[in-house]
Amino acid sequence: MTIVKKSLFGITLVLLVLFLFGCSNGTTPETSDHTEKEFLFTVVDLKGNETEFHITTTKATVGEALEEEGLISGEEGPYGTYIKTVNGVTLDYDKDGKYWAFYVNDEYATSGADKTEIVSGNTYSFKAE
């Protein structure tokens, strides 16, 4: 009698596992890249004037979010996107010796805006230098 019970239990367990895997659609769940994030973006021009923007986005990187808002543009280079225009103001180090420096929480960034993942609540800045 116990052999019959063990066999029935084993068959039931196998059927349950097959049922659970059979109901899976084979896709992975959505990643946090589609989660809405908010951050403060500050632009400091050559005269020291500050302009703030409150950004809400589902983009993964600061660069993507700011490009989507039309706040930055640049050129692809060997190290990523070289930002030349911020908030409508173009600076070109090769022409005028000035450039847009990228900051995260008031510290000089260790990666470009196009490589910096957004952390909600952080402050990101471009400062003319």
Give residue-wise pLDDT tens across range 48-94.
999 999 999 999 999 999 999 999 999 999 989 999 999 999 999 99
pLDDT of residue 6 exceeding 80, the answer is no
Structural domains of the chain in order of their starting residue, each with its CATH number? 34-128 (2.170.130.30)
In the structure, what pLDDT confidence band is assigned to residue 2 with cuts at 50, 70 and 90?
Answer: low
Q: Judge contact between 62 and 83, C-beta under 8 A.
A: no
- Alpha-carbon distances, residue 6 vs 16, 17, 18, 28, 90 (angstroms): 15, 17, 18, 35, 76
In the structure, what pLDDT confidence band is assigned to residue 4 with cuts at 50, 70 and 90?
Answer: low
pLDDT at 99: 98
Distance CA 97, CA 91 (A): 8
pLDDT tens-digit series, residues 8-60:
555 655 554 445 455 444 443 333 457 999 999 999 999 999 999 999 999 99
Distance CA 122, CA 106 (A): 10
Distance CA 72, CA 102 (A): 11
pLDDT of residue 3 exceeding 90, the answer is no
Tokens of 1: 């009698």
